[in-house]
A and B are shown apart, each in its own frame.
Chain A
Amino acid sequence: MDELLLRTLVPRVIGVLVRRGADFASAEDAVQDALVEAVRSWPAEPPRDPQAWLITAAWRKYLDAVRAAAARRRREDTVDTEPAPGPVASTDDTLQLYFLCTNPALSAASSIALTLRAVGGLTTRQIAEAYLVPESTMAQRISRAKKTISDVPLDTVGEIATVVRVLYLVFNEGYSGELDLAAEAIRLTRQLAAAVDHPEVAGLLALMLLHHARRPARIAADGRLVTLADQDRSRWDTALIAEGVQILQGALARDRLGEFQAQAAIAALHADAADVRETDWVQIVGWYDELIRIVDSPIARLNRAVAVGEADGARAGLAALAQLDPALPRWTAVSAYLHERDGARAKAAELYAEAARRASSALERDHLVRQAARLNAQP
């Protein structure tokens, strides 16, 4: 029973149902019902053609739902107009589904939920568990999202930038429990990259692969955060790094630079160094400058200040930091780090403690408290 194959088929099957005249919301529900049946019956009776099986089952579920819900008259009309279930057109509607699920009328949270279900083939329960909310809450988000886009035809072309943004958000959620959202985001981005030729899609895929490659080294066995400098680089996944770099090079060669390609380039430079001291910080600063030219975000400027601190020394880093708003998330943590590098240990300890109080994640807070304690313990 290949659950991954099953999930991969979901957007295609939804596409077929919609092409046959089902509305998106009903098609999506029908496919979910068919999936449940597949999980139940495939282990005993594996189908010869999984996609055809799913289409048939989902179409039957759709008709059942229409028959059950609609008035007698409407039901008969629908059955009358049912097209012959002949050969399935080879058009893949997957790309259109991405656009639909990330329609700008939806909030980010709704886009994420709908994409994971309609394109990713995940169940509402799986998505709810990943986001640590009750299943009923996630079901509401999905059903509201479907209502919001009920008038949008499937062939509406949307912004690829919006799709890419949503996949990036899914990836950034990391993972919790059984479902690995980072791996799921990579799977969906691979699928998108296969459906559309766009340098930013490739850039995002490269970025995800490069970060994913370092994941085994980011968290220690006891659950502590391990900073980039202290990571055991032998634990980085070299195959993923090689793949990410190759995809990135292909994208950069197209000469249409975007924010994800720039971020991936920075990640690639980190991945390329056998040791933190060998990192090409000068080039990294250059890429941050590119990134800021594309999207001038305060976070990018903060990260740039860290890179400047490595490339040109702590004083230069602190000078770059002084240009930025101290209210920025992680500003204090960066300041603490640069002060320590500059030899101001007492000041750094104080700043680490303050940064710990302002941290938004438990892992980061624990890390920063340890940094403060480490400096306070030494004379």
Chain B
Amino acid sequence: MAKYLFLKHYRGAPAGVNDVPMDQWTQDEISAHLQYMDDFADRLRATGEFVDGQALSPEGAFVRYDGEGRPPITDGPFAETKDLIAGWMAIDVDSWDRAVELAGELSAAPGAGGKPIHEWLGVRPFLTAPPTVTE
């Protein structure tokens, strides 16, 4: 088993095929979208592949050390950033192929017009502890 992180973007991923901003969807389309994501997570819970997942606010800032005795500098809210994460889900699955299959499924969440968004999801393997037997 290996863990992977799925990343959903507000900004920074290539545009989805059905790329309509969420605030222009109907109420029902939004509900259907959220329901799809909840059901997806529930299914992974049932198969024993779910680790964790959270949605992130677009708000926030970059923070940086500014030298001894001075308060950290903040810069934001993300005016210059290209990559803005909307949420993430961690899964624990048997293979990279399974991770890709699941990401494909999540990317098919319905959007405007009830049609799949075809959004791009970032899929990243976790770096883990090395196996005990190496040589």
Spell out A's residues near B (CB within 8 Å): 107-110, 113, 131-134, 136-138, 140-141, 144, 171-174, 176, 182, 207, 211-212, 215, 225, 228, 263, 266-267, 270, 303, 306, 359-365
Closest residue of chain A to B46 (Cβ to Cβ) is A140
B127 pairs with A359, CB closer than 8 A: yes
> Beyond A182-B132, A361-B130, is A131–B94 a contact (Cβ under 8 Å)?
no
Interface check B115, CB cutoff 8 A = no
Are A207 and B133 in contact (CB-based, < 8 A)?
A: yes
Interface residue tally for chain B (C-beta within 8 Å): 21
Tell me how far the C-beta of B57 lies from the nearest C-beta in chain A, rounded to whole angstroms: 23
Known: A109-B1, A109-B94. A137 touches B45 (CB 8 A): yes
Are the C-beta atoms of B133 and A136 separated by less than 8 Å?
A: no
Q: Does B67 contact A (CB under 8 A)?
A: no
Q: Tell whether, in the assembled complex, residue A141 and residue B135 are in contact, meaning their CB atoms are under 8 Å apart.
A: no
Q: Note all chain A residues with C-beta closer than 8 A to B51.
A: 132-134, 137
Q: Which of B92-135 contact A (CB under 8 A)?
A: 92, 94, 125, 127-133, 135
Q: Does B49 contact A (CB under 8 A)?
A: yes
Do residues A137 and B130 form an inter-chain contact, with CB atoms below 8 A? Answer: no
Query: Looking at chain A's contact residues, is the secondary structure mostly helix, strand, loop, or mixed?
Result: helix
Task: Given A109-B94, A131-B1, check contact A136 B45 (CB 8 Å).
Answer: yes
Contact A270 B129 (CB under 8 A): no
For the complex, is B48 an interface residue (Cβ under 8 Å from A)?
yes
Partner of A134, one of B52, B125, B129, B132: B52
Task: Judge if B24 is at the interface, Cβ distance under 8 Å.
Answer: no
Which of A138, A173, A211, A228 contacts B48, CB < 8 Å?
A138
Asked whether any CB of chain A lies closer than 8 Å to the CB of B50, the reply is yes
With A107-B94, A133-B92 as contacts: A361 and B48 at CB distance below 8 Å: no
Q: Is B131's CB under 8 angstroms from A172's CB?
A: yes
Docked Cα-Cα span, A140 to B130, in Å, equals 26
Give, as a whole number of angstroms, the nearest-CB distance from A183 to chain B.
Answer: 11
Nearest B residue to A367, CB-CB: B130
Contact between A137 and B132 (Cβ–Cβ < 8 Å)?
no
18 new A-B pairs (CB below 8 Å) besides A174-B132, A266-B135, A362-B129? Answer: A109-B94, A131-B1, A131-B92, A132-B51, A133-B92, A136-B45, A137-B51, A137-B92, A138-B48, A140-B47, A173-B132, A176-B129, A211-B133, A228-B135, A306-B135, A360-B127, A361-B130, A363-B129
Q: Are A270 and B48 in contact (CB under 8 A)?
A: no
The answer to whether B46 touches A172 (Cβ under 8 A) is no
| Alpha-carbon separation in the docked complex, A348 to B56 (Å) | 42
Q: Chain B residues with Cβ under 8 A from A171's Cβ? A: 132-133
Pick from B48, B127, B129, B135: contact of A144, CB below 8 A. B48
**B52: nearest chain-A partner, CB-CB:** A134
- Shortest C-beta distance, B6 to chain A (Å), equals 16
B132, A109: Cβ atoms closer than 8 Å: no
Q: Is the CB of A141 within 8 A of B125?
A: no
Write the nearest CB–CB distance from A303 to chain B, whole angstroms. 7
CB atoms of A362 and B128 under 8 A apart: yes
From residue A24, how far is it (CB to closest CB) to chain B in Å? 19
- Residues of B contacting A113 in the complex (Cβ-Cβ under 8 angstroms): 48
- Complex Cα spacing A179 to B103, Å: 32
13 contacts between A and B (CB under 8 A): A108-B1, A109-B1, A110-B48, A133-B51, A137-B45, A137-B51, A140-B48, A144-B46, A144-B47, A172-B132, A174-B131, A176-B129, A363-B130
